[in-house]
Amino acid sequence: MANDVVVVVFDLDKTIIDCDSDNWVVDELGFNELFTHLLPLMPLNSLTDRMMMELHSQGKTIHDTEECLKRTPIDTAVISAIKSAYAFGCDLRIL
């Protein structure tokens, strides 16, 4: 058992970050009106793909998305738990 590795799996949305990452990016980059308009008309995965294409067509870059995600709300207790699991040697995975 000494060589066993503990794997800790986290979900990103509403677990690590206190919101839905797709909605956060759309809101932060100013595309909420289009998202809200299309939401009742499309499945969520298709809508997310469409919004990413729209962001790109309006000049938004991967860097813009990365910077936006860096501003997501994260509870300090979650940060502490992740750091503790890492320090303990756990293999950390995010879905």
Mean predicted confidence (pLDDT) in 60-67: 95
Q: What is this structure's pTM?
A: 0.77
Mean predicted confidence (pLDDT) in 52-76: 94
Catalytic positions, written as ranges: 11, 13
pLDDT score recorded for residue 31: 93
DSSP E strand boundaries for the chain:
7-10, 91-94
Residue 65 has pLDDT above 70, yes or no: yes
CB contact at 8 A, 34 and 28: no
Mean predicted confidence (pLDDT) in 69-89: 94
Where are the chain's structural domains? Answer: 1-18+74-95, 20-72
Residue 1 has pLDDT above 80, yes or no: no
CB contact at 8 A, 48 and 39: no
